[in-house]
Amino acid sequence: FQSYEKDWGKDDFSKIPNGCAGIENMYPYMLSAANEGKIPFTKAVELCSSNPAKIFGCKNKGSLSVGKDADIVIYDPSVDFTITNEKMHSDCDHTIWEGITVHGYPVQTYSRGKLVYENGEFKGEKGWGEFVKCSLK
């Protein structure tokens, strides 16, 4: 949401927009915490990949196994990245993480085995994405 939309709930709490921009930085936050020794790397992978796949019943996601989608994030622990709204890909006009530097950053992403992101740029083809039907467990 945009900052001005917060005012919609000024007189009626039920009209306040939910959440904040930042999901695109979930992996960097978690991997930075692992890189800094705050959590084990295995825990970061559980939190970002295998657990969500289990919770939402996404059978082809969450691990690298024969027959599953080859969705892979390549992470470089030596890359430092400072989060700014200008670097975000969402349609928000702010980020609560403005100015925070994460230590380690994803440098490539593969979707079903195909390179779709590299060094900050989308490399995928329009229409490559697929709707993944899942259900809460």
Residue entry with tokens 């960097």: 28
> Stretch 73-88: mean pLDDT, rounded?
91
CB atoms within 10 A of CB 107: 14
Write out the residue range of the structural domain in which residue 70 sits. 3-122
Looking at the 3D structure of the chain, how many domains does it have? Answer: 1
The token pair that represents 93 in the structure block: 């006009």
Q: Please indicate, yes or no, if residue 131 is contained in any of the structural domains.
A: no
Q: Please indicate, yes or no, if residue 91 is contained in any of the structural domains.
A: yes
**What's the rounded Cα separation, in Å, for the pair 119 and 27?**
15
Q: Please indicate, yes or no, if residue 45 is contained in any of the structural domains.
A: yes
The pTM assigned to this predicted structure is: 0.74
Give the pLDDT band (50/70/90) at residue 93: confident
39 phi/psi in degrees, rounded to 5: -140, 155
The token pair that represents 118 in the structure block: 């590299």
**Residue 12: its pLDDT value, please?**
78
Give the pLDDT band (50/70/90) at residue 15: confident
**What's the rounded Cα separation, in Å, for the pair 34 and 54?**
22
Helix (H, G, I), strand (E, B) or coil at 18: coil
Q: Please indicate, yes or no, if residue 128 is contained in any of the structural domains.
A: no
For residues 130 and 60, the answer to whether their CB atoms sit within 8 Å is: no
Q: Please indicate, yes or no, if residue 88 is contained in any of the structural domains.
A: yes
Average pLDDT of the chain to the nearest whole number:
86
Give the pLDDT band (50/70/90) at residue 95: confident
CATH code of the domain containing 106: 2.30.40
Give the pLDDT band (50/70/90) at residue 120: confident
Q: Please indicate, yes or no, if residue 134 is contained in any of the structural domains.
A: no
Q: Please indicate, yes or no, if residue 130 is contained in any of the structural domains.
A: no
Q: Using one digit for the tens of pLDDT, what is the confidence trace for 24-78?
A: 888 889 999 999 999 999 999 999 999 999 999 998 899 989 988 989 999 999 9
The token pair that represents 10 in the structure block: 């000024």
**Residue 99: its pLDDT value, please?**
94
3-state helix vs strand vs coil in the chain, percent to 5:
30, 20, 50
Q: Please indicate, yes or no, if residue 94 is contained in any of the structural domains.
A: yes
